[in-house]
């Protein structure tokens, strides 16, 4: 998931150990590429071509650009470098705080998709549905020009999101100036305070600290039923106890809705535990295939709750909400339960970046994210490069965002009503 944010960045320091680091990246990919058909001879030639450029790089930023070129030629997700230092001496180092808004690309416009109630954007009066025109003085049109006609929507979405987030984030307590077109069509510029990300801080190994947030609430369906809504922002084990508590509250609900919009993944093995709340027998969500072996992601029926009591897994209808920023483990989970016929997926096609990955510390201190295997669902559907295709597509619509509507959630709740009407 971190590759999403840092994948396009490069960095700088006098001690970036270019030769050793380049060789390490090149070898890790060569030795560990999951595809049996991986062209190692071509990789050798590429290494020979780019290694001199890496060594000649004058800054760590230039060096990382060479690495990005090397990894980019694989044409796959989950090959990226997380910098340990800034690209250049004047670059922002600390991206831990954010203004509290998320964006999506809708009809080639960057639109505010959501606003955190406790964030700086909410305090500044920013609303969902506003059009972002510039961030920190950089016009959004500058970025959109880089997204060519014909770019698949899921890739365009990702590029737009990266552009925005890399500029919106910064050190806690600083501000970012963002220009918008508001709901009335007026141009407004807001100075938005960046605040430390909320949630439970979690650090796994060499990865940067992530902040885990889990939300849950009981919703009413249009037809008078009930549905438990659970959302979380990243797949870390801190999610599990909160998810368990939520499931205990929702066991008698008419349906459960899992909101994975904007969730870019995390610890892939977790999909086995969370999916287990919805299956009564061990069931294969998908298979990770490496060059010479494979690992099955089997849902483990959750027969005990957090309090240690025996429970039955939830047997009612399950809806999963996805969008273009649903990635990696979230896609494996959604696609896996979809392939089992155990969940119905609503929203927009997901990111299509679903390669389980490992992370390795490099000689220069950076961290290399590299794919460990390919993932196919239980019915053999490869998600990488395709995404999870919703059973019920719901297009994003600016007018609905301005009106405070959530058409994707509404679609899921209506479906739960239809299932209720049909009966068991």
Partner 1 sequence: MFFRVATMAALLLAPLYAQAPAKTEAASELPDAREIINRHVKAIGGREAVLAHKSMHATGTLTAAAQGISGPIEIYGATNPDRIIVKTKVEGIGEIAEGFDGSHAWSVTPMTGPMLKVGKELTQAKLDADFYSELRDPAKYPEVKTIEKTTFDGRPCYKVSITRIDGVKDFDFYDVATGLRAGSINTRESQFGTLTMTNIEGGYKKFGKLTQATTVTQQIMGTEQKITLSIVEFDNVEASAFEPPAAIKALIR
Site for partner 1, rule CB under 8 A? 31-32, 202-207, 236-237, 240, 267, 269-270, 272-273, 276, 282, 287, 290, 292-298, 300, 302-304, 308-310, 358-361, 372-373
CB 199 within 8 A of CB 230: no
Q: How far is CA 305 from CA 301, 313, 337, in A?
A: 11, 10, 21
Three-class SS of residue 142? helix
Nearer CB in complex with partner 1: 187/203: 203
CB of 196 to partner 1, least distance (A): 18
Nearer CB in complex with partner 1: 47/286: 286
CB of 198 to partner 1, least distance (A): 18
CB of 390 to partner 1, least distance (A): 26
Return the half-sphere exposure (C-beta side, CA atoms, 13 A cut-off) of residue 61.
9
CB of 199 to partner 1, least distance (A): 14
Nearer CB in complex with partner 1: 114/237: 237
Nearer CB in complex with partner 1: 24/192: 24
Query: What's the length of the chain?
Result: 424
Q: What is the chain's alpha carbon radius of gyration, rounded to the nearest angstrom?
A: 22
CB of 97 to partner 1, least distance (A): 21
Nearer CB in complex with partner 1: 373/387: 373
Which residues 6+ apart lie within 8 Å of 269 measured at CB?
297
Helix or strand holding residue 245 (H, E): helix 239-250
| Residue found under tokens 């690495």 | 67
Three-class SS of residue 410? helix
Nearer CB in complex with partner 1: 163/235: 235
**Residue ranges with strand state E in 54-162:** 80-82, 97-98, 101-106, 109-115, 131-135, 138-139
CB of 312 to partner 1, least distance (A): 13
């Amino acid at each position: 998931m971190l590759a999403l944010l840092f994948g396009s960045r490069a960095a700088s320091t006098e001690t970036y150990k270019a030769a050793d680091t380049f060789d390490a990246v090149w070898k890790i990919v060569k030795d560990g590429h999951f595809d049996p058909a991986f062209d190692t001879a071509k990789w050798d030639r590429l290494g020979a071509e780019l290694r001199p450029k890496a060594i000649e790089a004058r800054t760590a930023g230039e060096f990382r650009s060479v690495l990005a070129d090397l990894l980019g030629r694989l044409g796959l997700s989950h090959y990226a470098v997380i910098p340990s230092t800034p690209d250049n001496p004047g670059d922002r180092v600390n991206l831990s705080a954010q203004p509290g808004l998320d964006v999506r690309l809708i009809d080639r416009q960057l639109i505010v998709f959501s606003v955190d109630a406790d964030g700086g954007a909410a305090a500044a009066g920013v609303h969902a549905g506003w059009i972002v025109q510039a961030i920190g003085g950089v016009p959004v049109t500058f970025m959109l020009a880089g997204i060519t006609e014909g770019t698949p929507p899921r890739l365009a979405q990702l590029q737009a999101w990266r552009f925005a987030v890399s500029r919106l984030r910064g050190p806690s307590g600083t501000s970012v100036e963002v220009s918008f077109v508001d709901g009335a069509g007026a141009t407004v510029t807001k100075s938005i305070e960046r605040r430390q990300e909320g949630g439970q801080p979690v650090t796994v190994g060499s990865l940067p600290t992530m902040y885990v947030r889990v939300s849950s609430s009981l919703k009413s369906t249009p037809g008078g039923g009930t549905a438990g809504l659970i959302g979380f922002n990243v797949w870390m084990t801190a999610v599990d106890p909160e998810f368990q508590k939520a499931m205990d509250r929702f066991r008698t609900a008419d349906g459960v809705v899992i909101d994975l919009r904007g969730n870019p993944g995390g610890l892939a093995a977790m999909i086995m535990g969370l999916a287990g709340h919805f299956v009564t027998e061990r069931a294969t969500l998908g298979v990770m295939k490496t060059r010479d072996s494979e690992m099955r992601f089997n849902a483990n029926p959750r027969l005990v709750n957090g309090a240690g009591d025996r429970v039955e897994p939830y047997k009612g209808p399950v809806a999963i909400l996805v969008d273009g920023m649903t990635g990696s483990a979230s896609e494996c989970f959604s696609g896996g339960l979809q392939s089992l016929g155990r969940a119905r997926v609503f929203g927009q096609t997901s990111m299509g970046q679903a390669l389980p990955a490992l992370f390795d510390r490099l000689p220069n201190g950076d961290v290399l994210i590299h794919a460990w295997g390919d993932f196919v669902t239980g019915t053999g559907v490869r998600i990488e490069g395709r995404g999870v295709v919703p059973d019920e597509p719901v297009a994003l619509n600016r007018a609905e965002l301005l009106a405070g509507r959530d058409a994707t959630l509404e679609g899921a709740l209506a479906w739960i009503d239809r299932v209720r009407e049909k009966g068991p």
